[in-house]
Amino acid sequence: MIRTILLLGAFVVLLSLDRAGEPWTAPPEADRMKDPMAGDPKAAVRGAKVFRSLCWTCHGVEGRGDGPNATVLKVKPADLGSGPVQQQTNGALYWKITHGRGEMASYEQVLSREDRWALAHYIRTLAHP
């Protein structure tokens, strides 16, 4: 019994390690979602407030992946201003914030739908020139 439990435990750990660090792609339907805040200049301002209260600890104030808690993460969060993140649609960013993966929690129950879209808008403002 104990051996079975240990084996199962090891298996679960291996499974989660296996996924860590793999590219994270939102499903295609996320790209087709209608952005309810499209064209709203207040969206990024709203997103900034949420980011500076909940997200910066891991992602860093400028979203570079260098927040104070980033040092204890197994997977370093990507620089949100970088090409690979900026090339994603707002829908894909919204989907990732909603569902999370690994050490990045799901914010579906934590934040309103509007706040999650607003965060996608704020992430746009972090793009490197």
Binding part of the chain for ligand HEC, among 2-10, 29-37, 38-46, 74-82 by CB under 6 A, reads 74-82
C-alpha to C-alpha distances, 26 to 29, 35, 45, 60, 69, nearest whole angstrom = 8, 15, 25, 22, 25
Could you say whether residue 30 binds ligand HEC (CB under 6 A)?
no
Interface residue with ligand HEC among 9, 13, 68, 69 (CB under 6 A) is 69
Q: How many residues bind ligand HEC (CB under 6 A)?
A: 22
Q: 14: which residues sit within 8 A by CB, 6+ positions away?
A: none
> Is the CB of residue 103 less than 8 Å from the CB of residue 75?
yes
Binding mask 87-116 for ligand HEC (x = CB under 6 A): ------x--xx---xxxx--x---------
